[in-house]
């Protein structure tokens, strides 16, 4: 099948982009003719090395909305010349840009809803099929007026992707018990609540260390909160890393304190590395944990529950090992091959060819 993926860009650090790049590379590996149109970025070389043809199409933004017309025309030309059979948009801009060309050419448009909480996510309903990355996202989109008959749920999975191959890099040893989070440093990820919970954990278990991987607009605020904490010497901001696996491999407990999170890719990545998991009971997170019965869930913004869950693991080495074993079980469902297979089935469902 000849597939065109649309993304605003292919820059590292955006979960939507990571999921789209992983999928495109896997589809090419399975023998499909795959194109990826974006404004460019870090993953261009990776895409090309894996048989995906990257096409530079500058997407519009709030500062240059007029670019929409030439961008849509380029998508039309690409679809016509390359005889594209499916256009798959991973962001709202791509859904809008791809709609007119696909209507004119009779090509099915598929959209993936990665961020249902965004008020503009309803635009993903322009697709002939709307892919929800979790059942929670599917319910949200249905409540927002997207016809149920259009929606299909394909749970995120990233294990085995071409983006995450090769041996693990050597890093400095982490101190144990090592508690790690990998996330953007902004309010939606709930880092402030994790910092508060860690202060309580550290007060009772002073040997614990917290490692924060990521960057974002609230970083300085979180650093200030950490500096004022009684456990400040044991809180480490490591910045954004291209491959978190070496850190996760040394981690005892992975924590994700999100307030909203449709289906975070880092959950299966942490599970693959054998981390015990503590995460909030929001959106797609419990769906990613119930496979294999892994993890402890807590309510968002609840510092007390976070403290109790982390403390339960730190205080009992045997329980910690049990949870780590559960995390490592039943991981096949999180492989990128399963995601690709399910999406190809949906493509064929709507493709006229």
Q: What is the pLDDT of residues 115-153, one digit of tens each?
A: 888 888 999 999 999 999 999 999 999 999 999 999 999
- Is the CB of residue 159 less than 8 Å from the CB of residue 273? no
pLDDT of residue 305: 98
Check whether the bond before 177 is cis (ω within 30° of 0).
Answer: yes
Task: Decide if pLDDT at 59 tops 90.
Answer: no
> Could you tell me if residue 190 is left (phi over 0), alpha (psi between -120 and 50 degrees) or otherwise beta?
left
- Is the CB of residue 248 less than 8 Å from the CB of residue 269? yes
The stretch 17-24 carries a mean pLDDT of: 97
The stretch 296-316 carries a mean pLDDT of: 98
pLDDT in tens, 228-277: 999 999 999 999 999 999 999 999 999 999 999 999 999 999 999 999 99
- Residue 89: CB partners within 8 Å, gap ≥ 6? 5, 6, 7, 95, 97, 98, 109, 110, 111, 112, 124, 127
Task: Decide if pLDDT at 71 tops 70.
Answer: yes
From CA 248, how far away is CA 241, in angstroms rounded? 12
- Is the CB of residue 109 less than 8 Å from the CB of residue 128? yes
pLDDT of residue 65: 78
pLDDT of residue 185: 97
- 3-class secondary-structure state, position 352: coil
pLDDT of residue 353: 63
Task: Decide if pLDDT at 16 tops 90.
Answer: yes
Beta partners for residue 277, in sequence order = 254
pLDDT of residue 62: 75
- 3-class secondary-structure state, position 4: strand
pLDDT in tens, 274-304: 999 999 999 999 999 999 899 999 999 999 9
| Lateral strand order in the sheet of 151-153 | 52-56, 33-38, 2-6, 86-89, 109-113, 129-132, 151-153
Q: How confident is the model at residue 350 (pLDDT cuts 50, 70, 90)?
A: very high
Beta pairing class for 33-38 and 209-213:
unpaired
pLDDT of residue 352: 72
Task: Decide if pLDDT at 63 tops 80.
Answer: no
Q: How many CB atoms lie within 10 A of CB 272?
A: 20
List the single range of 7-16, 86-95, 161-170 with lowest mean pLDDT. 161-170
Task: Decide if pLDDT at 164 tops 90.
Answer: no
pLDDT in tens, 175-233: 999 999 999 999 999 999 999 999 999 999 999 999 999 999 999 999 999 999 999 99
Task: Decide if pLDDT at 36 tops 70.
Answer: yes
Q: How confident is the model at residue 82 (pLDDT cuts 50, 70, 90)?
A: very high
The stretch 31-43 carries a mean pLDDT of: 97
Q: Taking Cα atoms as reference points, which of 296, 335, 332, 285 lies closest to residue 179?
A: 296
Task: Decide if pLDDT at 40 tops 80.
Answer: yes
Task: Decide if pLDDT at 64 tops 80.
Answer: no
User: What does the DSSP assignment read for 256-289?
Assistant: E--S--SS-THHHHHHHTT-EEEEE--TTHHHHH
Q: Taking Cα atoms as reference points, which of 87, 95, 96, 86 lies closest to residue 113?
A: 95
């Amino acid at each position: 099948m000849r597939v065109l993926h649309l993304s605003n860009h292919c820059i590292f650090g955006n979960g939507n982009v990571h999921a789209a790049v992983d999928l495109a590379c896997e589809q090419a590996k399975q023998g499909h003719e795959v194109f990826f149109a974006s404004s460019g970025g870090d993953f261009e070389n990776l895409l090309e090395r894996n048989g995906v043809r990257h096409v530079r199409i500058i997407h519009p933004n709030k500062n240059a909305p007029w670019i929409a017309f030439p961008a849509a025309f380029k998508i039309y030309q690409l679809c016509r010349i390359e005889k594209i059979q499916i256009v798959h948009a991973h962001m709202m801009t791509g859904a809008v840009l791809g709609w007119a060309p696909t209507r004119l050419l009779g090509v099915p448009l598929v959209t993936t809803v990665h961020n249902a909480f965004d008020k503009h996510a309803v635009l993903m309903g322009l697709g002939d099929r709307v892919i929800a990355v979790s059942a929670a996202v599917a319910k949200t989109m249905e409540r927002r007026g997207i016809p149920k008959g259009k929606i299909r749920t394909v749970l995120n999975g990233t294990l085995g992707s071409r983006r995450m191959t090769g041996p693990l890099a050597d890093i400095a040893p982490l101190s144990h018990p090592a508690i790690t989070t990998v996330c953007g440093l902004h309010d939606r990820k709930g880092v402030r609540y994790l910092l508060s919970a860690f202060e309580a954990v550290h007060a009772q278990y002073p040997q614990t260390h917290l490692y924060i991987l990521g960057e974002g607009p609230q970083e300085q605020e979180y650093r200030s909160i950490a500096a004022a904490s009684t456990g400040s010497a044991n809180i480490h901001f490591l910045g954004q890393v291209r491959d978190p696996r070496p850190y996760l491999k040394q981690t005892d407990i992975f924590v994700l304190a999100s307030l909203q999170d449709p289906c975070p890719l880092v959950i299966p990545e942490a599970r693959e590395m054998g981390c015990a998991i503590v995460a909030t009971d929001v959106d797609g997170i419990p769906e990613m944990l119930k496979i294999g019965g892994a993890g402890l869930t807590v309510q968002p913004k609840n510092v007390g529950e976070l403290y109790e869950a982390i403390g339960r693991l730190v205080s009992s080495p045997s329980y910690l090992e049990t949870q780590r074993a559960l995390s490592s079980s039943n991981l096949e469902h999180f492989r990128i091959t399963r995601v690709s297979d399910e999406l190809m089935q949906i493509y064929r469902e709507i493709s006229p060819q």
